[in-house]
Structure formats: C-alpha cells, structure tokens
Amino acid sequence: MMGFTADGQADPAMQQQRNQRLGIVKSAIKAQRADIQIPKADPGADGWQHGKTIQINDPTGHLHGPATSPTPQNTNSRSTQ
C-alpha cells in the first residue's frame, strides 16, 4: 500500500471530484501546512522507485482496476447504498 506523497501524482479529475464532494479548498489546506518541515525519506523507503518490490497476489482472485464511473454525490468508495 502506498499514498500520494507529492503534487502531480493523483489524477486531477479525481482530485477535483473529491474537492467538490467534500468541500475541500486545497490552496487553503496547503497554506495552513506551509510551516511543516518535510523530513528526509528513510533510505529503505520508496522501494517501488529505487529498489526491489514484490507484488502479492490477491488470495480471493479479485481483479483490481480503476473505477468505471465517478463516485455518486454523498457516497464514498465504501458506501453500500
């Protein structure tokens, strides 16, 4: 599992949809966090970019892929409705 760690890694359309759905103003959040120091990455981190990685097969056989349609308003990826 990994997360986005820099600008430009996430799909802009996905970000815009999230921002609208959740009422997020990215520039305001970024300004609030401007004083946070970014630590140096551990040399053993970022294996997917700089080292060996492994891919574990899903034991359920479920094939993962991108969403086929945008997330409906007032729901999230885990909603059951």
Domain contains 56: no
Per-residue tokens: 38: 């970014």
What's the CA gap between 32 and 56, in Å, rounded? 38
Average pLDDT taken over every residue of the chain: 83
Domain contains 42: no
| pLDDT at residue number 1 | 63
pLDDT band at 11 (very low <50, low <70, confident <90, very high): very high
| pLDDT at residue number 15 | 93
Domain contains 50: no
Share of the chain above pLDDT 70, in %: 93
| pLDDT at residue number 68 | 77
21 within 8 A of 15, measured Cβ to Cβ: no
- Owning domain of residue 18: 11-35
DSSP alpha helices (H): ranges in the chain? 12-22, 26-32, 47-50
